[in-house]
Structure 1
Amino acid sequence: MTPLDFLHISLADQCLYGFAGGQLRLRLPVSTALNGPGELNGSGCTPRGRHQVRAKIGEGLPLGAVLRGRRWTGEVWSPQLHEQFPGRDWILTRILWLSGCERGRNRLGQVDTFRRYIYLHGTPDTEPMGVPRSHGCIRLRNRDLMELFARVPVHCAVQIDEATCPLGIGTSCLSIKE
């Protein structure tokens, strides 16, 4: 699999587009913030603009590993565990922790993506993709996240915006993988 050097997350399409050398290599459905776009701390919104992957967390953990405070709890998600903790915002499998690159927009002060703990992370397969439902993060299917995690280096460029696919491929976000 080709390593990716740029991710575009479209809030309009609810898709993640992965590029290598300017060529689209990956398209995955995501779920961004229920509260829509926004950068302010405490807003529950998905921040826009230029970002980078600042840290990769969870290498080697099992599919469905439950993460809290960026650490594995020792649990693996199951419907029974979900029933036991019905209100939990499940962060599963892996974390790609984002850091903003635009001072005053998504970096530093009350708009700092990194200090807001904005991640790309796994979610239970029972959660819908393609519709905004998160608390600000970008949710992915666990298997999709495992593949993405393996292909994305630390410092990979990430653009989050309201534009549709940068190549005009259409608004349907069926998973494609090279």
Structure 2
Amino acid sequence: MKIETDILRLQGAPKTRSKTTGSAMRPYLLLLALFVASCAAPDTRHQIVVSTREQKLALLDRGNVMAIYPVSTSKFGLGDWPGSRFTPLGQLRIAEKIGDNALPGAVFKDRRRTGEIVLANSPGRDPIVTRILWLRGLEAQNANAFSRDIYIHGTPEEWKIGSPASYGCIRMRSGDIIQLYNVVGIGAEVTIVDTPLASAVPALVSAHSMSAANPAPFVMR
């Protein structure tokens, strides 16, 4: 009988330990679930507005202007036909972010790093570099943007920034796209217009009249 009692005790022991361990793990699992959920939450705080007419990009934080950057949109014009090289208009959002911690000038092919670094304004070189913000269209007029690989990305042809020169994407200087990438999250709204920024961004004020009532951490022109 003693042997049977010892066997039953040993058989029951793991169950008791397992129950205790499971109870102790529950708070940590709950915290992990909350952390994952918070990471997956879309960025509703920031908004990007691109003016193809002015070749400028405005970054907004809860409607307030944080920064204005020069950009380069398509040299072929505006639109979203499949297989075209146009820059789409309308409401889009950031679907994916690619390039965490990549060095300035790091080359991407098919959204993967090649290991090559191309310096700014290197003669004859025009790859996608530094960071990628992959856009997904939210309207019929830009429904093909994601499948057409429309990005906001870095370019080594920085001397062309400020004039239309891309094949459909929105190009930025490497230093600028790194700043933008570090601020915005997946889900952030991107609006592309063919009007001046001032008409698309009611809160926009001149860079020469930024006041303490409406400060901007950095403004680039």
**What's the TM-score once normalised by structure 2's chain length?**
0.68
Instruction: Give how far 1:89 is off.
Output: 3.7
Q: Tell me, yes or no, if the aligned pair for 1:4 and 1:18 is still in contact at 8 Å.
A: no
- Cα gap change, 1:79 to 1:98, in 2 (>3 Å): closer
- Secondary structure of 1:60's match? coil
Q: Which moved more, 1:156-165 or 1:120-129?
A: 120-129
Match of 1:27 in 2: 68
Which structure has the higher relative contact order (CA within 8 Å, separation 6+)? 1
- Cα gap change, 1:27 to 1:71, in 2 (>3 Å): same
Q: Tell me, yes or no, if the aligned pair for 1:14 and 1:131 is still in contact at 8 Å.
A: yes
Distance 2:131 2:46 in 1: 19
Q: Tell me, yes or no, if the aligned pair for 1:125 and 1:142 is still in contact at 8 Å.
A: no
Q: Tell me, yes or no, if the aligned pair for 1:55 and 1:98 is still in contact at 8 Å.
A: yes
Bigger helix fraction = 2
- Name which of 74, 95, 100 aligns with 1:59: 100
Within 5 A, what are the aligned runs for 1:7-22? 7-22=48-63
Deviations 1:21-40 (A, max 9, x none): 11111100000000111111
Q: Tell me, yes or no, if the aligned pair for 2:48 and 2:191 is still in contact at 8 Å.
A: yes
Instruction: Give how far 1:150 is off.
Output: 0.2
Match of 1:120 in 2: 152
Runs of 4+ with >4 A deviation: none
Where structure 2 has 5 or more consecutive residues not aligned to the other structure, the ranges are 1-43, 207-217
- Name which of 134, 137, 146 aligns with 1:97: 134
Distance 1:98 1:137 in 2: 9
CA RMSD of aligned residues (A): 2.3
Give aligned-pair identity as a percent. 36
Where structure 1 has 5 or more consecutive residues not aligned to the other structure, the ranges are none
Deviations 1:81-122 (A, max 9, x none): x55xx3x541000000000001x3211xxxx10000000000
Q: Tell me, yes or no, if the aligned pair for 1:4 and 1:151 is still in contact at 8 Å.
A: no
Distance 2:70 2:205 in 1: 14
Bigger strand fraction = 1
* Larger Cα-atom Rg: 2
Q: Which amino acid aligns with 2:50?
A: I
Q: Which moved more, 1:121-130 or 1:54-63?
A: 121-130
